[in-house]
Structures are given as structure tokens and as C-alpha cells.
Structure 1
Amino acid sequence: MAKFKVVVSDKDGKSYQLEVETTALIGKRIGDEINGSTIGLDGYKLKITGGSDKCGFPMRHDIHGSMKMRVLLSKKPGYKPTDKGIRRRKSIRGNTISSDIVQVNTKVVESGEKPISELIGQE
């Protein structure tokens, strides 16, 4: 089973980090909606917005697949230029979650009956 750190951003601006051991996320892409019950949030619907791999390289939505590549970037995510027109070759991951991915970023699309802090036992 793969282990993921899932960061859930709530609509009120708070974010929660959950450690989940599941294979249900493998093969999902950035932009896919998942059921919250797969990570222990019953009644919630979550949208995958990004993530990073075990070396810290970010996932990028316009690179297909799960491989690591070196691409020429001029904007976010993966590169933040200081001047206009600057480009740089950086290593990034594709948009598909694999076993190399450690952190998965999500945001809440549909809320459940209970708040997230109550479901994960955090007060």
C-alpha cells in the first residue's frame, strides 16, 4: 500500500494534513474529483489540485503521465521568475499520481455534515 500525505484545503481558508495509506489515489490526475470516504472524510467530495514527489519536485497539470521530466518553464507551478520573460529548465513531475508521489494537495468541492476538524479528531 502506498502512503500519502493528503493536504485538504477547506472553504474557510484552513488546511488539514492527513496521513493515508491507500492505493485508491494511484492513477488519479490533477483536476479529478475523489470521494472523501477514501481518506476518511465521509460526506466530502475533494478535487486534486497538485502535489509533490519524494524528492520535492512539484506536479504540473499540463505534463501528462507520472514521470519526472526537465522542461523549460516561464511561470508557476514549479518556477517563479523574478523578471518578465525569463525562462528556466526545471525538473517536475507529470499530472498523474503514482507510488513516487508523497504529498497530494486537494480542495473541498462539497462539504459533509460534520466539519473536517471533528472527523479527524483535531480541536
Structure 2
Amino acid sequence: MVDFKIILSDPDTGRSYKIDATGPAAGALIGKRIGDEIDGGVFGLAGYTIKITGGTDRTGIPARRDLPGPARRRILLSEGVGFHPVMEGQRRRKSVRGNEISADFVQINAAVKQRGAKPLTEYFEEPKAAAE
């Protein structure tokens, strides 16, 4: 089965949280596109709505929102995701991935769109070590 690392950003606090999605949680992401909103209950975040903002495959190649499909392609870029020009007018052919999530993805970037009843810190707080 597919495993994803989901990096969930909280725009209000500026913090990020890592979610390991396996099994049905990972299967719920297959076929979704960058910009889609999904229910956070799939990941155990009741009441939250999460927006997919990007992702990368196993070799670190980023996904672009404006490129349809899940395939990796070499396209001529002048700016944006996958290429940041150094000189004005510079263009370069780079490998980028389409906006549809497939089993080739390893990391998926997401942001909180709508909050639930409990704050995210309650879901992701680390257990405190016992005092010795």
C-alpha cells in the first residue's frame, strides 16, 4: 500500500505538523489534485478541513498546480514552482510533476482551511518524559 508524509501547516500560528498517512488515509488522497479540500477526519482531525497545497515525489521533484495529470514531465519554465530564475528573462527546462496525487508521491503539503473544536496542539503534543 501507499504511504505519505503529510506536512500540515497552520497559517494562524505559523507551525507545521507531520502526519504519517498509511492504509485508508493514504488511499483517500490518491486521485486528489492540488487545491482540493479534504476532510481532516480521515487523519483523525475531527472537524478540520485541509487544503492540499503541493507535494514532491521520491526524488524530490515538485508538483505544479497548473500541470494536469500525475506524470512527471520536462517543461520549459521561466518562474514558479520548480525553478527560480537568477537573471531576468532566464528560462530552463526542468522536471516537474503534475497536480494529481499518485502512488509516486512521498510528501504532500497541506494547510488548515477550517478549524475543528480542538486545537492542533492537542493532537500533536509530545508526551512529557517522567521526572526522575
1:4 partner letter: F
Task: Report the 3-state secondary structure (helix = DSSP H, G, I; strand = E; otherwise coil) of the residue aligned with 2:14.
Answer: coil
Letter in 2 for 1:38: V
1:27 maps to what in 2?
Answer: 31
Deviations 1:57-110 (A, max 9, x none): 000011100000000001110001111100000001000000000000001110
Structure 1 unaligned spans of 5+: none
Alignment of 1:48-63 (within 5 A): 48-63=52-67
How many residues are matched? Answer: 123
TM-score, normalising length from structure 1? 0.95
Whole-angstrom distance in 2 between the partners of 1:16 and 1:122: 12
Matches within 5 A, 1:1-123: 1-11=1-11, 12-21=13-22, 22-122=26-126
Which has more radius of gyration?
A: 2
Q: Which runs of 4+ in 1 moved over 4 A?
A: none
Backbone CA RMSD of aligned residues? 1.1
1-structure distance, mates of 2:126, 2:113:
21
Relative to its length, the structure with more helix (as a share) is 2
What is the Cα deviation at residue 120 of structure 1? 2.8
The TM-score normalised by the length of structure 2 is 0.89
Report the more deviating stretch, 1-10 or 112-121: 112-121
